[in-house]
Amino acid sequence: MNEDEMTEANLVVLSAGDTALALDATGPEMPRVLHWGVDPGFRADDAAQVLDAMGRTSRHQAGSLMPSQGRGWGWFGRPTLAGHRDGRVRPTRFELAEPVAVRAQDGRGGTVHVRALDPGAGLALHTELQMTEQGVVRLRHTLTNTATDTYTLDVLACVLPVPAHAAELLDFAGRWARERSPQRSPLRQGVWSRENRRGRTGFDAGLLLAGSEGFGFRHGEVWGVHPAWSGNHVQYAERLADGTTVLGGGELLDAGEIRLAEGESYRTPWVYFATSGTGLDGISRGFHDMLRARPQHPTTARPVTMNIWEAVYFDHDPERVRALANTAAAVGVERFVVDDGWFRHRRHDRAGLGDWYVDEKVWPDGLRPLADHVHGLGMQFGLWFEPEMVNPDSDLARAHPDWFLADPDRLPFEQRSQHVLDVAHPDAHAYLLERISTLVGDVGVDYIKWDHNRDLADAVHDGRPGVHAQTTAVYRLLDELRGRHTGLEIESCSSGGARADLGILERTDRIWGSDNIDPIERQAIQRWTGLLLPYELIGSHIGSAPAHISHRDTTLALRCATALFGHAGIESDISNWSQDDLAALTAWVSAYKQLRPLLHGGDVVRTDHPDPAAWVHGVVSRDRAHAVFAYVQLETSVAENGAPVRLPGLDPETRYVLRVRPELSSPEHTWPAWARRTTALTLTGRYLARVGLAAPDLTNRPGHVLVVEAQAQPSASQE
């Protein structure tokens, strides 16, 4: 579509892949979204007719990028902008200050800039809308106070409309060790709002999705919203009495948190919107491809990571840790991470937090000899920090009680014997930057596990609500550290997976999916975390049996197969494992290294399997020549026989050679007959997707797994 023709017709269309977004930019009011969803095939010469067909003459506020009550038919839904001047309000009447600026990219998305003014209200608005080459839309507003008196901002949200046939909602509940548990409901009139006031993203955070009736992983139309912000936030769906429906999101501001003097501005975080005509897997594909196209996305192979937390906890003995490093290197580990307990006064979790100096009593020679030993074994060296928190029983707290993110006369409750450190306090920020940066340089740290283990309760900074200032200060601290130490990688951990959002991932290289590494629990956590994030950004480790949190005993095969679908690692004292288990672990490490280009570059696929007791999921390479699938029996089945295992995402016309990966599967006696053939099974992608394979006989044997690799059969010329 020709950009100039569309602009002249006052219809702006951005398209990428199967997605299109059409804006009525006629003015003088803010542009209206006429369509966002599957690309209907807009044509430049149809621009005027499209505008008429979709309601150019209507002054309704439905679809406006900044709807208001007093324009057209009025918007009586949740306000997207609200504020006041010392209690006095003036309704907004934004009008375009200049023609809408468009930079389209011929079917590869583009950018729209809208600049609007309301002189009577003393406000200027700059709205940026981008469609990535993958079809994901992101939106943000910048509001500037142009009047002489202070403007207190209460709400500034980003919204996009969804069509009337959206009928269901999917979002997530969650808690520690049970992140992102899905819940579905009808999309009714009213507001379904998920509001997070914990000061961090939250165990229940991710995507809020609306979809056509009965949508699933591989079918149905779906629309989703995600605010890229690591502090308080809101995401919501609203359906009005007139049938108008929107998805919205943004930062959730506390009273008086944002006060703009003359000339000052507030910019919302990016709010991401994605849509798919092919179910939830299409939503994932858009986000995964977009994230992989970022310049800061990890480009090196994701190293097998050994974290020693569940191996030693606070019992840091240098010789024991060195021996553990030796065993890790022997099985093929590529990154060795020393977790909590290495710094002063830290023999338990009730003291020392904030005292970022190596504990001379535990590590009399410092950590450099250990780091050198780890590097000498061919592994990277990682170190744990929790910079945003402080124990009251610490030298830091005793010296600087004024550094707490709190009202000094009304401290909040201690959670995990911790308070929050005010990172926006200039001296606290400087201390953290100096200490962490010095340790990274002096010790030789390649990787930081950056933890965050409590909510921000009654967060007060300089007498005002402090979550916004804290979040931006943490972002700045991470940016400064990365600027000082080229190549340093950082993991975002927050009591497990409570800070997994696209804001923190602008500055970090992976998230820790959950503290719970019980593979049964992790199957669900990784499935739903993976809706937004590709596997290479989700830390997934093999733990002990029984699991340390759930106390469930599981097979090593299931633990291995579960950790495979992520940025894989180990979290157990493997120095006391049997030789047979170490041999199996070594084989798993080798399989992960062989498969990780596929796992971390292919399309994630999940079946809508008819038996809820078993799940089928996998990854298919972009050229459809290679795939790996897992069949996981989660619990006993109601049916006596398992449902056929369909393998989606393959090329329908290609014949695939199938083989079980024994180092990733339960013992051979659990395999179906086809998997035990002396010659490999070869079938077309169409057959495998529509008919499938006989399931393993596991209906009464939860906790077992079968991993199948599919490779395109070579042609006669290739043979």
Which residues are catalytically annotated?
Answer: 451, 515
- Tokens 């400087």 correspond to what residue? 430
Contact present, 152 and 259 (Cβ < 8 Å): yes
Long-range contacts of residues 65-70, Cβ cutoff 8 Å, at least 24 apart: 65/23, 65/30, 65/31, 65/32, 65/33, 65/114, 65/127, 65/129, 65/139, 65/159, 66/30, 66/92, 66/94, 66/116, 66/125, 66/127, 66/141, 67/159, 68/92, 68/93, 68/94
Q: Is 515 annotated as a binding residue?
A: yes
Q: Name the one residue in this structure whose structure tokens are 């024994």.
A: 662
Distance CA 13, CA 25 (A): 10
Distance of alpha carbon 490 from alpha carbon 487, whole angstroms: 10
What type of residue is 453? N
List, in sequence order, every residue forming a beta bridge with 570; answer none if it has no partner. Answer: 306, 542
Whether the CB-CB separation of 540 and 565 falls below 8 Å is answered with yes
Alpha-carbon span 411 to 434, nearest angstrom:
27
- Residue type for 364, please? P
Chain-centroid distance, C-alpha 370 = 33
Q: Which of 689, 597, 593, 678 is nearest to 647 (CA)?
A: 689
Cβ count within 10 A of residue 248: 25
Q: Assign 710 to helix, strand or coil.
A: strand
- 36 in a known ligand binding site: no
Residues in the chain, total: 719
> Is 609 marked within a binding site?
no
Nearest in space to 250 (alpha carbons), one of 510, 503, 622? 503
Q: Is 577 annotated as a binding residue?
A: no
The helix-helix angle for 519-529 and 556-564 (nearest 10°) equals 10
How many helices (H) and strands (E) would you count in the chain?
13, 39
Q: CA 330, CA 665: separation in Å to the nearest integer?
A: 22
Q: Which two tokens stand for residue 344?
A: 């002063």
- 3-state DSSP helix/strand/coil % of the chain, to nearest 5: 25, 30, 45
Question: In the numeric block, which tokens belong to residue 44?
Answer: 């430049």
Distance CA 522, CA 564 (A): 11
Rounded CA gap, 325 and 573, in Å? Answer: 10
Answer whether 480's CB lies under 8 Å from 390's CB: no
> How far, in whole angstroms, is CA 668 from its chain's centroid?
36
Residue 390, number of CB atoms within 10 A of its CB: 25
User: Which stretches within 248-305 are classed as H helix?
Assistant: 280-292
| Cα-to-chain-centroid distance, residue 325 | 30
Residue 292 in marked binding region = no
340 is in an annotated binding site: yes
3-state secondary structure of 322: helix
274-307 core/surface letters (b: 16 or more CB in 10 A; e: else):
bbbebbbbbbbbbbbbbbbeeeeebeeebbbbbb
Which residues are bridge partners to 687 per DSSP?
none
Based on its alpha-carbon atoms, the radius of gyration of the chain, rounded to whole angstroms, reads 27
Check the CA dihedral 321-325-330-335 and report its sign.
Answer: positive
Rounded-to-integer distance, Cα 267 and Cα 186, Å: 33
522 in Cβ contact with 552 (< 8 Å): no
Does 623 carry a binding-site annotation?
no
How large is the angle between the packed helices 318-331 and 579-599, nearest 10 degrees? Answer: 60
The residue among 510, 571, 512 whose CA lies nearest residue 545 is 571
What are the φ and ψ backbone dihedral angles of 639, each rounded to 5 degrees? -75, 150
Q: Which residues are annotated as a binding site for substrate?
A: 176, 339-340, 416, 449-453, 493, 515
Q: Which residues are annotated as a binding site?
A: 176, 339-340, 416, 449-453, 493, 515
